[in-house]
Amino acid sequence: MSVIYLDNNATTAVAPEVLEEMAPYLRDLYGNPSSMHTFGGQVRRKIEEARARVAALIGADPDEIVFTSCGTESDNTAVMSAVETYPHRRHVVTTRVEHPAVLNFARHLARKGFRVTYLPVDSLGRLDMDALSEALDDETAVVSIMYANNETGVIFPVRRIGGLLRERGILFHTDAVQAVGKVPINVKDLPVDMLSLSGHKLHAPKGVGALYVRKGTRFHPYIIGGHQERGRRAGTENVASIIGLGKACELAMQALERESSYVGTLRDRLEQALLQLCPDAMVNGDTGNRLPNTTNISFQYVEGEAILLRLDEHGICASSGSACTSGSLQPSHVLRAMGVPFTAIHGSVRFSLSRYNTEAEIERVIEIVPAVIKELRELSPYGRNGLGQG
Ligand SMILES: *Cc1c(COP(=O)(O)O)cnc(C)c1O
């Protein structure tokens, strides 16, 4: 059975072009980019090409790009760098809907004695800008707010947030792991100081990421050791994956507009059909301001996990809550922060698409999902007319 993969916010397929670009550096060109000899030097040049490609996708200068081991490391590094370089500032601001890479790092800092403000969102997942403004004070070292939410796709007003923080002279980091390659980003006219991205969310391999650090931003490395990345991130480079990330960024840049409109059309078709065919279904998040590839739908009075198991039997991959929190029975912290009702949180499913999905796949999902929901509702102990109602 072939797989219909609609879980691209969890991870993506490595693009064939990316794999091809990487292969020589796993096979023959194994030199250390730090070596003096020509054999290593050719690897160094290829890494610099990758750096330029990553930079180009977000409008940065190549020397503003630091390669890391993943999105999580980029996020941790950014927040840690801010608190290291402003040691007298003991306050960090973030939101209640961040990825665990930021949220749990903030909690870690809170246990170390930092003051942390977790900003609320409204029922559509939108940030409360007044709460942000009120949270800031002379002790605030950094504000870390995601560019786009991984569970709902909701896009945050990064330009407005950054504008406010510039006025107040406070560092701004944005976790743009879900946004890079899906929506146009240009740091030249975006007031952010640091921005995280991750390879495996845009068709590069897992285990490579990057952190954009605006020129002039005070920076402290998180991984300390050798002089790689001009002292900003020690450790011998993950050469092949960095090269893959560069290629993936080049591909994303070439096709961004075309792909986002293609993927958006498929997503809209899927969403509209499911809302129409499944009673008591609703979309979570601000549909007017979302990533083009994501829809988070609550099928009330059914368990998301049960839906996923049934879909899995049909080869359909989706996710309930976020992949990072599933495996525990914790309901999604994002949907809770939005005040989504209990029965709707438990019946939530995220479908996240990519350039590799086809119309035929989406039509097949539109056939299967409503049948699965109907079947589960008939079995459900709190079916439509049972306990869950009201
Ligand atoms: C996936 C993801 C991360 C973590 O990236 P990794 O490369 O898996 O560590 C961070 N933030 C967001 C929004 C993500 O979706």
Q: Express each pLDDT in 137-180 by its tens digit.
A: 999 999 999 999 999 999 999 999 999 999 999 999 999 999 99
What local confidence, expressed as pLDDT, does residue 297 receive? Answer: 98
Pairwise CA distance, residues 36 & 244, whole Å: 24
| 70 close to ligand 1 (CB < 6 Angstrom) | yes
Q: Ligand 1: distance of its center to the CA of 175 in Å?
A: 8
Whether 276 and 222 share a structural domain: no
pLDDT of residue 27 exceeding 70, the answer is: yes
pLDDT in tens, 255-288: 999 999 999 999 999 999 999 999 999 999 999 9
Domain of residue 88, CATH code: 3.40.640.10
Q: Please tell me the distance between residue 146's alpha carbon and the centre of ligand 1 in angstroms.
A: 11
Q: What is the mean pLDDT of residues 13-28?
A: 98
Q: Which amino acid type is present at position 101?
A: A
- 372 part of a folded domain: yes
For residue 22, how far is its CA from the centre of ligand 1 (angstroms)?
22
Kindly state if the Cβ of 180 falls inside 6 Å of ligand 1: no
**% pLDDT > 70, the chain:** 95
Ligand 1 atom at minimum distance from 11 CA: 1
Q: Are residues 169 and 208 in the same domain?
A: yes
Of 217, 252, 287, the position where a domain reaches its end is 252
Distances (CA, A) of 167 to 79, 162, 234: 20, 9, 33
Q: What is the predicted pLDDT for the residue at 101? A: 98
Q: How confident is the model at residue 204 (pLDDT cuts 50, 70, 90)?
A: very high
**Amino acid of residue 273:** A
Ligand 1: which atom is nearest the Cα of residue 209?
7
Q: Would you say residue 26 has pLDDT above 70?
A: yes
Establish if 248 belongs to a structural domain.
Answer: yes
Give the residue, out of 76, 201, 242, with the most ligand 1 atoms within 8 A of its beta carbon, to mutate for a pocket test: 201
Question: Count of residues for the chain?
Answer: 390
Residue 30 counted as domain residue: yes
Q: Are residues 229 and 271 in the same domain?
A: no
Does the CB atom of residue 248 touch ligand 1 within 6 A? no
Q: What CATH number is associated with residue 347?
A: 3.90.1150.10
Q: Is the pLDDT of residue 389 over 50?
A: no
The total number of structural domains in the chain stands at 2
Residues 244 and 364 in one domain: no
Q: Is 344 in the pocket of ligand 1 (CB under 6 A)?
A: no
pLDDT of residue 330: 81
Q: How far is the CA of 71 from the centre of ligand 1 (A)?
A: 5
Q: Is 205 in the pocket of ligand 1 (CB under 6 A)?
A: no
DSSP three-state, residue 116: strand
Asked whether residue 323 carries a pLDDT value surpassing 50, the answer given is no
pLDDT on residue 241:
98
What is the predicted pLDDT for the residue at 382?
58
Query: For all residues of the chain together, what is the average pLDDT?
Result: 95
CA-to-CA distance for 55 and 65, rounded, in angstroms?
Answer: 6
Mean pLDDT to the nearest integer, 364-387 = 82
Q: Residues 79-102: pLDDT tens digits?
A: 999 999 999 999 999 999 999 999
Please say which residue of 192, 223, 252 terminates a domain: 252
Nearest Cα neighbor of 253 from 12, 56, 48, 71 is 56
Alpha-helix runs per DSSP H in the chain: 16-27, 38-58, 71-85, 100-111, 129-135, 158-168, 239-277, 304-313, 333-337, 342-346, 359-379
Q: Is residue 100 part of a domain?
A: yes
Q: Cα of 178 to ligand 1 centre, how many Å?
A: 7
| pLDDT number for residue 84 | 97
Q: Are residues 260 and 248 in the same domain?
A: no
Residue 194 CA to residue 140 CA, distance in Å, equals 16
pLDDT at residue 379 in the model: 84
Tell me what the mean pLDDT of segment 57-67 comes to.
98
Identify whether 29 is part of a domain: yes
**pLDDT at res. 327:** 55
For ligand 1, whether the C-beta of 176 sits within 6 Å is: no
What's the CA gap between 350 and 153, in Å, rounded? Answer: 10
Residue 70 bears catalytic tag: no
pLDDT at 328: 58
Q: Is the CB of 178 under 6 A from ligand 1?
A: yes
What domain range includes position 105? 16-252
Q: Are residues 160 and 39 in the same domain?
A: yes
Domain-embedded: residue 389: no
Nearest atom in ligand 1 to 98's CA? 13
135 pLDDT band, cuts 50/70/90, is very high
Is 153 near ligand 1, meaning CB less than 6 Å away?
no
Which pLDDT does position 387 carry in this prediction?
45
Average pLDDT for residues 68-76, to the nearest whole number? 98
Asked whether residue 270 falls in the same domain as residue 121, the answer is: no
Q: Is 155 in the pocket of ligand 1 (CB under 6 A)?
A: no
To test ligand 1's pocket by mutation, which of 67, 151, 177 has the most ligand atoms within 8 angstroms of CB? 177
Does a structural domain hold residue 132?
A: yes
Task: Please indicate, yes or no, whether residues 86 and 157 belong to a single structural domain of this protein.
Answer: yes
Q: Are 184 and 256 in contact (CB under 8 A)?
A: yes
**What value does the mean pLDDT take over residues 171-200?**
98
Residue 379 is encoded by which pair of tokens? 């079995």
Judge whether residue 120 has pLDDT over 70.
yes
36 and 95 in a single domain? The answer is yes
Residue-wise pLDDT for 332-343, tens only, equals 999 999 999 998
| Position 390 in a domain | no
Q: Same structural domain for residues 293 and 221?
A: no
| Ligand 1 centroid distance, CA of 70 (Å) | 7
pLDDT, tens digit (0-9, with 9 covering 90-100), for 215-270:
999 999 999 999 999 999 999 999 999 999 999 999 999 999 999 999 999 999 99
Q: Are residues 302 and 219 in the same domain?
A: no
Examine the fold and report which residue of 252, 268, 301 is the final residue of a domain before the chain moves on: 252
What pLDDT does residue 321 have?
Answer: 64
**Beta strands at 281-283 and 209-213: parallel, antiparallel or unpaired:** unpaired
Catalytic residue among 70, 249, 317, 324: 324
Residues 207 and 278 in one domain: no
